């Protein structure tokens, strides 16, 4: 567990820490070294002659206010690849609030590395960050205490999601995800897990989820995590795509396209992490997280192009592409979630659904698709506040032809290969009743952090969803005009 403290003077800081500040910081020691570092006008970093600190890094002031291009984060990342101290001191007296949230989550996320999976021989003597000291003004302290508490809880959920998603799919099967979720949720009395095995999935009519998972020897699961922070009130529901490995099925992917497909369950992993963050903050709210878990494999029982499967809401879908399996499991899980509670405030699903959203928005923005203007606005604002931003794509009846089928109610992919991301969302909207606000987040670009030719789980969009939930609770609790 990483610890933190707030101080108002560098004299209170522990020695041998890594000091990170703006060149204009008035609390920096007046030494020849500091003056030389300031004079560069650029980022300056040294591990020599900087006692009582182990390392000093001065980052240009403009980056501390850059809430658009992640400038400060990009400057920090290389510094923590090989830390020189387990303690960091960071001057937060003049920093944009969104940048502060991003930086805190980044630092708290340092508790997880790929080495922790114990699949690689490593040097156990590697230094790990375990304490954050923040230099602040007296008038900032009370607000910062709450900010630190919240961001650490959010980061804890991100870490749980990242650890799960980073595991090889041979280990991280649908049943393993269930067992890991049960283990993690057991630490919180207000969390309880409800599991549907393959027989229950069939019995409850989740034919789309079953169609995707039946080709694998690792059978599908539906996991619902319930959080009751209050005894009554509307339920906020989150649904995550949990394809623990995606071969593409009989519509087989090429090898290069299959390499990162263990991460096709990031949506489900992030729903689990979100639930842990909510429970960690003991929020006064009722929430349900639904994880649709399956492996899209090739085998004698694998779904075939042209098959028709029926969802638990009675709608039928022609499967004209077995590599468009994510929207199938999501559709069933959304329909199931919509039927689970009489009063649902909203349903938000998240999925690494389409490569097309990456072509449209790149790796920094999640695609947002919804027909509910209030939910769209609230998620957009939460994205800007948290630094985990979204961009809205169109979703209306002009997409209707993209999902038309001659043999079933819907088909799972458009035959013209156009508007792939929005067409998938158009399919999904049929499975949430119009009375329940619903939004779809395509996180294919943002669920992974890509650096040096490698990809690892990022834990996004947990920060976005937590900020949205906190904002929504504040609105709900505010007195009506």
* Whole-angstrom distance, CA of residue 449 vs CA of residue 365: 12
Catalytic residue (one of 38, 93, 192, 253) = 253
* Whole-angstrom distance, CA of residue 463 vs CA of residue 466: 5
**Catalytic annotation on 241?**
no
Q: In whole angstroms, how far apart are CA 124 and each of 1, 2, 127?
A: 18, 18, 8
Beta 410-411 vs 316-319: how paired, if at all?
A: parallel
**Catalytic annotation on 214?**
no
Q: What is the number of other CB atoms lying within 10 angstroms of the CB of residue 103? A: 24
Residue (of 345, 347, 316) closest to 334 by Cα position? 347
Tokens of 29: 């020691």
Catalytic residue (one of 327, 345, 376, 460) = 327
Residue (of 333, 331, 330, 351) closest to 443 by Cα position? 351
The three-state DSSP-derived secondary structure of the chain is CCEEEEECCHHHCCCCCEEEECCCCCCCCCCHHHHHHHHCCCCEEECCCCCCCCEEEECCHHHHHCCCCCHHHHHHHHHHCCCCCCEEEEECCCCCHHHHHHHHHHHHHHHCCHHHHCCCCCCCCCCCCCEEEEECCHHHHHHHHHHHHHHHHHHHHHHHHHHHHHCCCCCCCHHHHHHHHHHHHCCCCCEEEEEECHHHHHHCCCHHHHHHHCCCCCCCEEEEEEEECCCCCCEEEEEEEEEEEECCCCCCCCHHHHCCHHHHHHHHHHHHHHHHHHHHCCCCCEEEEEEEEEEECCCCCCCCCCEEEECCCCCEEEECCCCCCHHHHHHHHHHHHHHHCCCEEEEEEEECCCCHHHHHHCCCCEEEEECCHHHHHHHHHHHHHHCCCEEECCCCHHHHHHHCCCCCCEECCCCCCCCHHHHHHHHHHCCCCCCCCEEEEECCCCCEEEECCEEEECCCCHHHHHHHHHHHHHHHHCCCC
Active site residues: 253, 327
């Amino acid at each position: 567990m990483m610890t933190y403290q707030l101080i108002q003077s560098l004299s209170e800081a522990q020695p041998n820490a890594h000091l990170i500040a703006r060149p204009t910081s008035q609390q920096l020691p007046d030494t020849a070294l500091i003056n030389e570092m300031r004079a560069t006008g650029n980022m300056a970093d040294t591990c020599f002659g900087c006692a009582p600190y182990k390392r000093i890094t001065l980052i240009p002031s403009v980056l501390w206010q850059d809430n658009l291009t992640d400038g400060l984060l990009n400057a920090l990342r290389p510094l923590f690849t090989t830390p020189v101290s387990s303690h960091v001191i960071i001057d937060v007296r003049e920093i944009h609030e969104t940048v502060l949230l991003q930086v805190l989550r980044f630092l708290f996320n340092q508790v997880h590395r790929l080495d922790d999976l114990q699949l690689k021989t490593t040097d156990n003597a590697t230094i790990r960050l375990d304490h954050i000291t923040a230099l602040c003004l007296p008038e900032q302290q009370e607000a910062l205490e709450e900010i630190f508490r919240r961001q650490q809880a959010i980061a804890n959920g991100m870490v749980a999601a990242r650890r799960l998603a980073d595991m090889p799919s041979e280990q991280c099967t649908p049943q393993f995800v269930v067992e890991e979720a049960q283990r993690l949720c057991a630490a919180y009395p207000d969390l309880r897990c409800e599991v549907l095995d393959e027989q229950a999935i069939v019995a409850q009519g989740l034919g789309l989820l079953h169609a995707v998972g039946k080709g694998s020897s690792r059978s599908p699961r539906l996991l619902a995590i319930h959080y009751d922070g209050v005894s009554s009130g509307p339920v906020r529901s989150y649904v995550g795509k949990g394809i623990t490995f995606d071969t593409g099925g009989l519509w087989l992917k090429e090898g290069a396209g299959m390499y990162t497909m263990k991460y096709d369950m990031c949506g489900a992993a992030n729903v689990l992490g979100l639930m842990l963050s909510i429970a960690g903050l003991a929020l006064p709210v009722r929430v349900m997280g639904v994880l649709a878990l399956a492996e899209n494999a090739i085998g004698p029982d694998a779904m075939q192009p042209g098959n028709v499967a029926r969802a638990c809401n009675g709608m039928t879908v022609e499967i004209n592409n077995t590599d468009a399996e994510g929207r199938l499991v999501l559709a069933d899980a959304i329909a199931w979630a919509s039927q689970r509670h009489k009063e649902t405030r909203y349903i938000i699903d998240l999925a690494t659904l389409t490569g097309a959203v990456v072509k449209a928005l790149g790796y920094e923005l999640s695609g947002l698709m919804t027909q509910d203007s209030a939910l769209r606005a609230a998620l957009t604002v939460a994205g800007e506040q948290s630094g985990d931003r979204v961009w809205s794509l169109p979703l209306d009846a002009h997409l209707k032809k993209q999902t038309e089928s001659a043999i079933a109610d819907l088909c799972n992919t458009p035959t013209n290969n156009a508007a792939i991301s929005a067409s998938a969302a158009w399919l999904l909207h049929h499975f949430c009743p119009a009375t329940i606000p619903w939004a779809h987040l395509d996180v294919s670009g943002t669920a992974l952090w890509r650096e040096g030719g490698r990809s690892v789980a990022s834990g996004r969009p947990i920060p976005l969803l937590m900020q949205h939930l906190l904002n929504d609770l504040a609105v709900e609790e505010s007195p009506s005009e």
